[in-house]
């Protein structure tokens, strides 16, 4: 028999080493490696899908759309176009980027879909408040100082209105502020086509594009370069409205202003810039029964999912270089945590599960199906395959070939789920086909053997407990904060190992044993008198 206390000492030393290493590595990174918390905190990203539909009748059709570009406050993470019957090309037009879908002959109902995932930033601008209007140096293209048909900056009416807004101190800042307030006070009128600057001024009411044109015209009339900005306000849901605001050129910087929503010298997080200038976001060939919509969603993701630069222990960078999806990396780094949850449920709570780490791996699979379809898919496959095994046992097959048959049926079922899921547009169900099939087959085998040897009741009890533990592991894996912590401090894996070692030496009663041995743990006082 080995000396128990020397084992305990060894265990404590190993645990201490692991925890100290975790802290040491984290400290080195925090203090020596120019660590930036901004690089690990979760970030909000947006998904935008522009769907365009029309009905063609055999003639050439062309659609165009301004596409987002990377700049100092917005960054494209991924972009995807799906338009089977069209030639899709992107090209530049002034400082803008455009996408064009074209075909020589379009028949019946057609659909093009452009999706983009982006990270954006809210920005607030400051300018030197003492700079006077005449001191403002502009380096902008001359077209941003020139009147157009819709932005009548040379009109006497506009000039007159603008002069009234010139502040006593003559500073550019106060002028901007006055102009902004003036336009903001216009009565809001819901979007009805295009409103030019002069009309907006005369009516005293306008939607976002009228206000913006008027504001641009006022600024231009006093020699400050300004331009329209078109884009989309990224609030979750479906909509058809785009948005326009303006930018004024002050000392070499374009300063954003949205008089419709009251953003003065700032641009909020959820504004997506698509183009600059007085443009139409979408254009299409006429007479095609055209329709479109924007579908927007947002979510929080760990920063590494969207950041680019390499960092110390920056395996996310390495994974990206290898072309391995970030989702996979996230799963991999969270598996030890999920496994720790399983270990706790087994050894501290005393739950029975099929397999030791099956629940952790199923939790990974549940990430794509979601918990409900995951459980439905898993339980129904196990049920069907264990029924099959009862049938197979009548054929008296040897063990391995029988398992082979079961695996085949599992795969057939996974394919069936994929077909059913896609036919009825249930993504969760379709993703059941990504389940780890060998594990599922082996679980079906174990379930079926347990049914025979220990009764249907205990097999289903174990199934229920397995699903419960899978759900817990799933919640842990899905937790954004835990993902952020694990991705930001991967050295915590050492501490996870230390926790496993601690549980591995923990000799306390499992919660279930308090019930199993309740007669011994909570002896009745009368018993002694017997």
Partner 1 sequence: MKFFSRHFQFNSSAVLGMNRRNVDMILPRNQRRHFPLANNKLLTKTTLSSHGIAVAPTIATFESFYEIGRMEEYLNGLSEFVVKPANGSGGNGILVISERRGELFRTAGGRLLTRDNLVRHIADIVFGVYSFDKADVAIVEPRLQPNPFFAGLYPYGLSDIRLIVVDNITTLCMLRIPTAESDGKANLHQGAIGIAVDTQTGCTYRAWYRKHEIEHHPENAMPLLQQNVPNWNEIVDAAVATAKVLPLKYLGVDMVVDKSLGPLVLEVNARPGIEIQNVTGKSLLQVIEQNGSC
The footprint of partner 1 (CB under 8 A) covers 1-2, 4-5, 7-9, 11-12, 347, 350, 396, 398-400, 453-454, 504-510, 513, 516-517, 519-521, 523
- Nearest-5° angle of CA 159, CA 219, CA 71? 160
**Cβ distance to partner 1 smaller for residue 6 or 134:** 6
Cross-strand partners of 301:
43
Rounded-to-integer distance, Cα 24 and Cα 293, Å: 52
What is the dihedral sign for C-alpha 373, 375, 378, 382?
negative
Which of 482, 228, 219, 205 lies closest to 363, judged by CA? 482
Greatest pairwise CA separation for the chain in angstroms: 111
Cross-strand partners of 294:
50, 239
Q: How far is the CB of 1 from partner 1 (least distance, A)?
A: 5
Q: If you write DSSP's letter for every residue of 63-112 in order, what string do you get?
A: EEEEE----SSEEEEEEEEE-TTSEEEEEEETTEEEEEEEEEEEEEEEEE
**Cβ distance to partner 1 smaller for residue 289 or 455:** 455
59 Cβ partners below 8 Å, 6+ apart?
105, 106, 285
Q: How far is the CB of 2 from partner 1 (least distance, A)?
A: 5
**Cβ distance to partner 1 smaller for residue 193 or 508:** 508
Q: How far is the CB of 520 from partner 1 (least distance, A)?
A: 4
Rounded-to-integer distance, Cα 361 and Cα 364, Å: 5
**Cβ distance to partner 1 smaller for residue 156 or 398:** 398
For the record, the structure tokens of 411 come out as 């795969």
Q: How far is the CB of 17 from partner 1 (least distance, A)?
A: 17
- Nearest-5° angle of CA 350, CA 1, CA 517? 25
Q: How far is the CB of 52 from partner 1 (least distance, A)?
A: 59
**Cβ distance to partner 1 smaller for residue 72 or 399:** 399
Q: How far is the CB of 498 from partner 1 (least distance, A)?
A: 13
Q: How far is the CB of 460 from partner 1 (least distance, A)?
A: 16
**Cβ distance to partner 1 smaller for residue 23 or 511:** 511
Q: Which helix (H) or strand (E) holds 321?
A: helix 315-322
**Cβ distance to partner 1 smaller for residue 323 or 508:** 508
């Amino acid at each position: 028999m080995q000396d128990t206390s020397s084992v305990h000492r060894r265990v404590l030393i190993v645990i201490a080493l692991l925890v100290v290493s975790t802290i040491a590595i984290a400290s080195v990174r925090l203090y020596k490696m120019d660590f930036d918390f901004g690089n690990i905190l979760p970030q909000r990203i947006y998904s935008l899908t522009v769907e365009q539909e029309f009905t063609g009748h055999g003639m050439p059709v062309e659609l165009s759309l301004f596409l987002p570009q990377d700049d100092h406050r917005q960054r494209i993470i991924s972009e995807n176009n799906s338009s089977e019957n069209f030639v899709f090309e992107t090209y530049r037009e002034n400082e803008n980027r455009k996408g064009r879908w074209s075909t020589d002959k379009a028949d019946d109902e057609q659909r093009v879909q452009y999706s983009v995932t982006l990270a954006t930033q809210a920005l607030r601008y400051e300018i030197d408040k003492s700079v006077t209007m005449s001191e403002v140096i502009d380096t902008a293209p001359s077209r941003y100082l020139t009147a157009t048909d819709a932005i009548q900056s040379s009109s006497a009416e506009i000039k007159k209105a603008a002069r009234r807004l010139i502040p006593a101190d003559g500073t550019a800042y106060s002028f901007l502020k006055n102009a902004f307030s003036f336009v903001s006070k216009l009565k809001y009128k819901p979007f009805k086509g295009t409103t030019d600057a002069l009309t907006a001024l005369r009516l005293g009411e306008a939607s976002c594009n009228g206000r913006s044109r008027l504001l641009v015209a006022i600024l231009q009339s006093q020699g400050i370069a300004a331009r329209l900005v078109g884009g989309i306000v990224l609030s979750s849901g479906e909509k058809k409205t785009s948005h326009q605001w303006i930018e004024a050129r002050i000392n070499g910087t374009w300063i954003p202003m949205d008089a419709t929503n009251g953003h003065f010298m700032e641009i909020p997080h959820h504004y997506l810039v698509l183009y600059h200038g007085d443009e139409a976001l979408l254009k299409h060939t006429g007479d095609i029964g055209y329709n479109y919509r924007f579908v927007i969603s947002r979510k929080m993701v760990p920063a590494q999912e969207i950041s680019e630069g390499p960092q110390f222990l920056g395996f996310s960078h390495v994974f990206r270089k290898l072309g391995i999806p970030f989702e996979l990396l996230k799963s991999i780094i969270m598996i030890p945590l999920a496994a720790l949850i399983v270990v706790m449920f087994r050894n501290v709570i005393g739950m029975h599960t099929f397999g030791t780490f099956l629940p952790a791996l199923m939790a990974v699979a549940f990430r794509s199906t979601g918990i409900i379809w995951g459980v439905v898919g898993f339980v129904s496959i196990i049920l069907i395959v264990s029924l099959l095994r009862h049938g197979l046992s009548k054929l008296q097959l040897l063990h391995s070939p029988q398992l082979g048959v079961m695996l085949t049926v599992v795969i057939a079922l996974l394919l069936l789920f994929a077909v059913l899921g896609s036919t009825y547009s249930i993504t969760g169900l379709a993703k059941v086909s990504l389940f780890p099939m060998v594990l599922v087959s082996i679980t079906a085998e174990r379930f079926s053997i347990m049914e025979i040897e220990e009764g249907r009741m205990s097999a289903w009890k174990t199934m229920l407990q397995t699903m419960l533990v899978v759900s817990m592991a799933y919640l842990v894996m899905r937790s954004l904060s835990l993902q952020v912590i694990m991705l930001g401090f991967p050295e915590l894996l050492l501490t996870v190992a230390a926790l496993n070692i601690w549980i591995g030496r923990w000799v306390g009663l499992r919660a279930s044993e308090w019930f199993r041995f309740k007669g011994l743990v909570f002896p009745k006082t009368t018993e002694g008198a017997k």
